[in-house]
Chain A
Amino acid sequence: MASCTICLPALMMLVLDLNTVESVWPLPQKLAISEERYPLSPTHFNFYYGEDQASIMTDCSLLDSAFTRYFPLIFPDLTSGNGVLPSTEEKAFSLVVTMNQKDCDGYPNEGSSERYQLNVSAGQAVLNSDTVWGALRGLETFSQLVQQDEDGTYFINKTEIEDFPSFQYRGILLDTSRHFLPLKAILNTLDAMAYSKFNVFHWHIVDDPSFPYQSRTFPDLSSKGAYHPMSHIYTQSDVRRVLTHARLRGIRVIPEFDSPGHTQSWGKGQPNLLTPCYKGSSPSGKFGPINPASALSYTFMSQFLKEVTSVFPDPYLHLGGDEVNFSCWQSNPDVRAFMQKMGFGRDYTKLESFYMENIVNITSNLNKTSIVWQDVFDYHERIPKDTILHIWKGLPAQYKAEMSRMTKAGHRVLLGAPWYINHIAYGQDWRISYNVQPLNFPGTEEQKKLVIGGEVSMWGEYVDATNLSPRLWPRACAAAERLWSDESQTRSAEAAFPRLQAFRCSLLRRGVRAEPLSPGHCRDEYRGI
């Protein structure tokens, strides 16, 4: 211990730094932390349901498993023996959870309240929420409030929090077609999403390069279209595992089955689905987008989407509709004949609109809300009002103008354009993500209300399990705060920086391979390789 005369000053500085930082990420809407602090001991800590709740909450397995999950997150050194030093001040501490609604068994959806209140005082913290989803968010916040002092003793400051998300839709897109992502990588991403209060996993599950979704109805799609029919697929039980893992963390899973473009891999297992391209008067052997001139295409899509909507419980379904290349359609005589018959002239955007309208109708007949990429709106303003439009293109000036146009037309809008974080650059590019202002576009208050949220995209051209986590975390955290927190309190990336650094270290401690933001260190570095 003699040597500690040397090391103490350094350690104390570190701990003090952490203490002076408001350590919750994303920043709660209303947060008051006072100097007064209470020690916590893992051996004298309990989760309780509020007294009047005990009867109705006896079988809330969702919260029970959240308690199990959060206990070691709150007391990370439990297994190493540190931090369990008996303290003379040791007192029991409990976290009491009360909820206004008792539904524990459902899935989160767009209407789910995530609001919660958390009051930490001597011996007790009270967590109050409307729903179990709000309770999950409050638990996460609570776990971030618990810190360790220089002796490893856990403590929490007296705190009052009232919190709710600024945007109801806070998503992350993973692309499992350009590279297959093993289930483990997806589940780990869901964990990290919960730590940053993301609530939608947009699963861009299939695309041109591969079709890893194993369909019950059309097994050839993956057996012929996946990179490998046995090892590079998501079976139905894999999908259920993702859904369950996400639900337990209050995360919605919205699958995307992008069509009519981005479907090269579909064609391998589903003959006659894609448009045969022509070279002069004969087929070239290549294929283009789904054939919109063939009735078979719609029959297939109805059957397939019927399966999809029964597998994925979320009320939303992403239908894609982006980047359709018209040259193959133009080359095909049957498609040209169809154009003529429909009176579309030479305007292939009309043909795409025709296709999308059919797919959107199929989807609404299955009682699902459609999300489509902005291209569909750009081509065709006459799409059903309840269709959600996903913006992905352009510089700020362009996407802001697009948001104005879309919301003016009465559509709900989802902002993805500024958060394509598969695009990497040297240095602290998280600041750019952080400075995005989703509501800063010309429009009325009513229009602004139509912005349901935003999404971080991690497209897969250069990303697989080897580099997904460090590319995603903590860079995605910038958008997480922008979408959850009050913009007026979180304008400065500079002010957020130390808090984000602390959060990044806690991600590491929780097993998320989050990359560094600047030179420095974490007490617990990433232990894997």
Chain B
Amino acid sequence: MPSSHDWINKPLGVVEAMFAQSNSNPEWEAKVLEYFKGQLREKESHSWVPSLNDVPLHYLKPNSLVKFRCLVQDMFDPEFYMGVYETVDPSTKANVLRCGKYKDVTECGVDLNSRNTVTAERQTFYCVPIPGESPWAKESYGCSSQARVVPSTSYVPSRQKRSYEEDDDDMDTQPQKQREPHTEPHGNGDSKRQETEAPSSQTTAPSDCSSHLDLNFPLPGERGPACLVKVYEGLDSFKLNDTLEIYGILSVNPVLTVLGEEKDPSLLLLNPTESMETPEEQRAHDPPASLVPRLHMLYARPLQHNNPLLPSAPTEDQSAFVSSFLVEMASVRAELLAYLTHVLLGDGLAAEYLLLHLISNVYTRRDVLPLGKFTLNLSGCPLNSYTERLYQIVQQLVPCSYRLSMSLHTMNSMRLVPKKDYVANRLVSGALQLARNTSLFLDETQLEQGQLDSSGVRNITALGNLISWQKVDYDFSYHQMEFPCNINVLVTSEGRSLLPSDCQVPLQPQVTPPNMEEYLTTIHMAQFTSQINKFRVYLSLARTLDYSISDEVTKAVEDDFVDMRKDDPQSVTAEDLHRMLVVARLLSLSLGQTTLSRDGWMRAKHIDMLRRSRTEQQKSLNGNEP
């Protein structure tokens, strides 16, 4: 390995060298950050850094630089540490100043009475991989990584690269999901390989660790490393549920575990009769490093989107990429629309609305009002696993998604809203703790008649609040605390959904394939990966575009509204205007237009009319639908 990569392999060496040069001039800290930022700014350099998301923990070298794509799930209380301390060499009695930053444990022979000790503050964030990340996104991130990883154990798998991907595949296949037939043979190979590895690996055997250590993932069935991230700078700039790409120094020092385990009172000067932490807290805050590694943050980049196919940073690259893509926007849209129409059994209008829904995004909040949200209720969905297949198709298109089957049992038993556990002093996650722009697929076709208990009512209320206000009230026992979110909610139901929605589209299938499974699989298979990738880029990109309405169009819209009201005041309400403006916005953006044109407005009005007349029609049928 070339020495130029020392900053990746031995970042602590770099830090210590800078500290040694500084002569306790506090500016060295900024220099360190600047250095790593500079290194990462170099072309492609960030892809050399191994990622905790793709590489099993035991392949990573302790104290090396790693990156982690994650969601801030919880923030612990700040702690103090010795930023600078002095050690005494027992043989020479020479005092040496040492740097305690980015470390968990000290070197030997600390002089606790030294006057040079500096106490500093840091905070720990509990981070989990981004919940509901689609398999294709994971895979694609994994492929783009150029990190050369040498496992820290003696075992060197011959097909190293390949096996990671398989690992990923394996992880993402949720238990309730049917295993795709083609993964079967690989699965066998996998298990063999795992057998040989098992003793050295902790992360690949999560089944036994979950029994005594809850890693607190928001979604059930998730896997991947959770991480305790030690944050040193800019504490206030991070918020709960932020999605970040963190570059930091990995610390899996097993000493941590032992230190936490047994304290020899004679070694510690101060040992309170009562520990300040209960065993539950201890377990939540100091899990074994082998299960939950520590990451000392050097640099964190907020993720605007989680799509590996798009350039990540807002650089010149990106604007070039955007402008080149804008050209083909309209054609990609047409293809995607055709694809979705097929998927929705030939219903073009529903496909149009689904497309708009997929690019919707809460772009701002005016006081309590979230603007830009577009919850779609697709009613009249055929039963028998259609919705399941539909979800799989959505999952193929968006980077993050989750399907919540709204059966009575799940509604009554599942924890949707995060709750503060005061015993362990941590935030117990719930399924609604999701990253921004996650697609939440609520499957109401699974609902049956029966009794909702109190937690069921709470869950339904939480879903309703999420849809109406785009916020989740986290349960802090003595009070609730609102956390704003930005989640695309798609509700599929037989009749009109019991949840509120911004817009309801009754599905009108034009074709009735005899075998639904086969039909959808064929459609899905017919798409080339390159085509699907285009769709993925399209959906992520359309949502990031800026948008405005000119004064002239504003006037026209106002006039139009008043005119409509004149004819029949009951027909159009303020709420309708709200919705139509959102539709107009999304429609324009979906075509790559960043301003609203008169045509755009008329088109929006038109499709809304179509949709409404369809809803009316459905009403008069009075539930006699297929």
Is chain B a partner of chain A in the same complex? no
* Residue positions of A touching B, CB distance < 8 A: none
